[in-house]
Amino acid sequence: PRKNIFARLKWLKHGGWSPDYQIRFIDKSHFKKWPKEIHSTPIIGGQLGYLKHSLIHYFHGDLESMVQKTIIFENIESDLLFKAGKPVSTLTFFRKFWGELYRRLVRNLGFLDGGIGIIEAVYQAFSKTITYLFLYEKKRKDLPAGRQEKSSSV
């Protein structure tokens, strides 16, 4: 599994971060495809093997780089949701934020990673919300000109 180290400070063992198995070494003859542009697992034919030791994954160096990466990745994610016709309303922002925060912090025990675990749980909830804010904006721009001012949700 991948060993996720937050900001070079702490290995996150809770909050949905561990164990974090990732397919890394693929025999090209068994590779089929990547199902999505980002955040997906490759489809392969054949058996999977596992490394005996963890791969060290340093993520989130500082707040500025975190936010910059979030803008890039969540914009791509919102494009995929937009193309799939995913609905969004202002209520969606609250559901996504609180749902992700609950999942990371409470259900997956992110608070057990201390202050860093709490910060990461809040940040992941923020990141998920940004995806849907981008989606909301894209849907608003896609409306006919006269409907943009009148509609409070899309």
Please state, in angstroms and rounded to a whole number, the distance separating the CA atoms of residues 143 and 65.
Answer: 33
- Name the average pLDDT for the chain: 89
pLDDT value of residue 121: 97
Q: Give me the residue label for tokens 């996150």.
A: 12
Please tell me the number of Cα atoms within 13 Å of 128 on its side-chain side: 19
Q: What is the pTM of this model?
A: 0.81
Is the pLDDT score of 136 beyond 80?
yes
pLDDT value of residue 147: 56
Helices 114-142 & 63-83 angle (0-180, nearest 10): 40
Chain segment 67-99, per-residue pLDDT in tens: 999 999 999 999 999 999 999 999 999 999 999
8 Rama sector, left if φ>0, alpha if ψ -120 to 50, beta otherwise: left
